[in-house]
Copies of this chain bind each other. A is one copy, B any other.
Amino acid sequence: MKRANPMLTPKVFHPKKEELSVRRLEISDYDKGFLQLLCQLTLCPSLSKPQFQACFADLATLGDNHYVGVIEDPVSGCILASGSVLIERKFIRGGGKVGHIEDVVVDEAARRIHLGQRIVDHLVHYAKTVGCYKVILDCKPDLRGFYKKCGFVESNIQMALYF
């Protein structure tokens, strides 16, 4: 796991927890290490600013059906944690909605102060607010305990097909 952004390392993490609220992703977060944070999650090749803006604009067309929440360190101005929720409209359940939580990540330097739970709680609350009847996510088995603390129960298995 590499950190590509020298702005973020080395870092002294010191803000108070109560200062670390979740807000919606903004286009200016490109310059606050948002993509570098996602590199801690999986492959995240660099996007140029215009590419990022295009992706941001594409997602913005979904309106309330796609939400990315971030936590910014008020001291350093870096993004410390992030997660997204995609809202799916269905024909089942009376035209019900399901929230798909994706890409939850907390900066290595800011772990053990429950920012992950704060992000997840926020996304769950968001999904409830827009009318979802449930929220689902896929994770590695070793994160089972973390998501149980967030109120989730183990439900099914995930299958994947890579192209």
Contacts and interface: CB of A to CB of B under 8 A. Distances in A.
Size range of the interface on A? 35 or more
- Between A52, A128, A157, the greatest number of chain B beta carbons within 10 A of the residue's beta carbon is seen for A157
A134 to B, nearest CB: 5
Contacts of A8: none
Contact of A163 (B42, B132, B150): B132
Given A43-B92, A138-B136, A161 B152 contact: yes
A100 B103 contact: no
B162 A154 contact: no
Copy number in this complex? 2
Contacts of A152: 159-161
A128 B161 CA distance: 10
Interface stretch (A13-21, A54-62, A110-118): A54-62
A2 interface: no
Nearest to A150: B161
Interface of A: 34-35, 38, 41-45, 47, 51-52, 54-55, 58-59, 62, 65-66, 68, 86, 88-95, 100, 102-103, 124, 128, 132-141, 144, 147-148, 150-163
